[in-house]
Structure 1
Amino acid sequence: MSTQKTVRQQADVVEENRLRLDQDKAEQIVDALNTELANSYVLYHQLKKHHWVVEGAEFLELHRFLEEAYENVEGGADLIAERAQAIGGVPVSGPTNLERRATVEFEGEDVYDVRTMFENDLEMYGDIIESLRDSIELAENLGDPATGEILREILVQVEEDAHHFEHYLEDDTLVLEEATH
């Protein structure tokens, strides 16, 4: 393990960037990106938890669906972090900082029925969709269409996954309920 103690960049400092984005504007965009990054990881961990604990007749399909969903979130988070770094910032990291920065809230450690878990997920997806739209608008208003485009691509995937959660929450199902006598 390295014994080097030199800090190359403090976490809360946005440095001049080679993309020629004004530092004041970059600071605002990095702040928004770090919120999106934190939100992504809260959602990621909630989806991962649901992947681990899902049960029932549709277990395997839901297990796979949740895996794909959290992988999509993680991919978007990586793009967000790389963009924050590219414009001079430091991507937020570490569980304490992620939780503090997030505007969405993890449902907790308890295990719920599948419908409740998916309703909680869909609620978080909705909050993240609204936040992403705000961050896209901010980036574009500050003259950073590239960040807007990156976030727009992530938004498309987030909306698509949220729509899949909506489908799972519909009342119609092929699984028969046990008859009660």
Structure 2
Amino acid sequence: MKPNIGISEKNLEGVIKILSTLLADEYVLYTKARNYHWNVVGPQFNELHKFFQSIYEELNEHIDDIAERIRSLGGWSVATLSEFLQLTRLKEHPGEYPDARKMIENLLNDYEAVIRTLREDIVKVGDEYKDLGTADFLTELMEKHEKTAWMLRSFLS
């Protein structure tokens, strides 16, 4: 049954497409944080091991929230690795095991890329697709990502 929530089917499809791409970005970011949690070495191992864990745990919650938002709008959540890799705007680095500083830089670059696209998507979802609920949802997610990006930048300072 399709939702009857005051947003046209065409607009819902546009919002779901944006959310699906975001879901893929978040999943790739989650996987990268897991990778770094498992593979970090060096004098700050314990601190960074725990920090990367806190990042992927938070991303896991975001992933679930985004997928459920898609479902609440009548869409189907992408849920396979091949779909995530087709949709994501982020880059993976298979076979690379950077030092701790580069791990943090990579995560920061990805977080900032997601933040930039969230800014654009918030406007599009609200203005073009008339979905203020999803615009609010994305704004809250952006604010959480900005805080994580600040923490990552602080590690690099």
- Under TM normalisation by the shorter chain, which class is it? over 0.9
1:15-42 C-alpha deviation (Å, 9 max, x unpaired): 7313232100000000000000000000
Task: Provide the C-alpha distance between the structure 2 equivalents of 1:71 and 1:151, rounded to a whole number of angstroms.
Answer: 19
Deviations 1:77-105 (A, max 9, x none): 11111111111111111000000000111
* Equivalent position amino acid for 2:80 in 1: G
Normalising by structure 1, report the TM-score. Answer: 0.83
TM-score (structure 2 length as normaliser) = 0.95
Aligned equivalent of 1:117, options 86, 99, 103: 103
Equivalent in the alignment of 1:91 = 77
Name 2:146's counterpart in structure 1: 159
How many residue pairs were aligned? 156
Match status 1:127 vs 2:113: yes
More off after superposition, 79-88 vs 28-37: 79-88
Residue pair 1:92, 1:98 contacting (<8 A) in 2 also: yes
The answer for the alignment partner of 1:148 in structure 2 is 135
Residue 92 (structure 2) aligned to one of 82, 102, 106: 106
Q: Which amino acid aligns with 1:24?
A: K
Which residue pairs with 1:59 in the alignment?
Answer: 45
Provide runs of 4+ in structure 1 moved above 6 Å.
none
Partner of 1:176: none
Gaps in structure 2 of 5+ consecutive residues: none
Q: Is the Cα–Cα contact under 8 Å of residues 79 and 150 in structure 1 kept in the other structure?
A: no
* 1:10 counterpart residue number: none
Unaligned runs of 5+ in 1: 1-14, 171-181
Identity %: 29
In structure 2, the residue corresponding to 1:80 is in which secondary structure? helix
| Deviates further, 26-35 or 101-110 | 101-110
C-alpha distance in structure 1 between counterparts of 2:30 and 2:131, whole Å: 27
Q: What is the CA deviation profile of residues 153-180 of structure 1, one whole-angstrom value per residue up to 9, with x for unaligned ones?
A: 111111111111101111xxxxxxxxxx
Whichever residue aligns with residue 106 of structure 2, its letter is N
Flag the structure with higher helix content: 2
RMSD: 1.2
**Deviation of residue 107 (structure 1)?**
2.3
The structure with the largest alpha-carbon Rg is 1
- 2:125 and 2:105 mapped to 1: Cα distance? 30
Residues 18, 87 of structure 1: 8 Å contact kept = no
Q: Distance in 1 between matches of 2:34 and 2:125?
A: 30
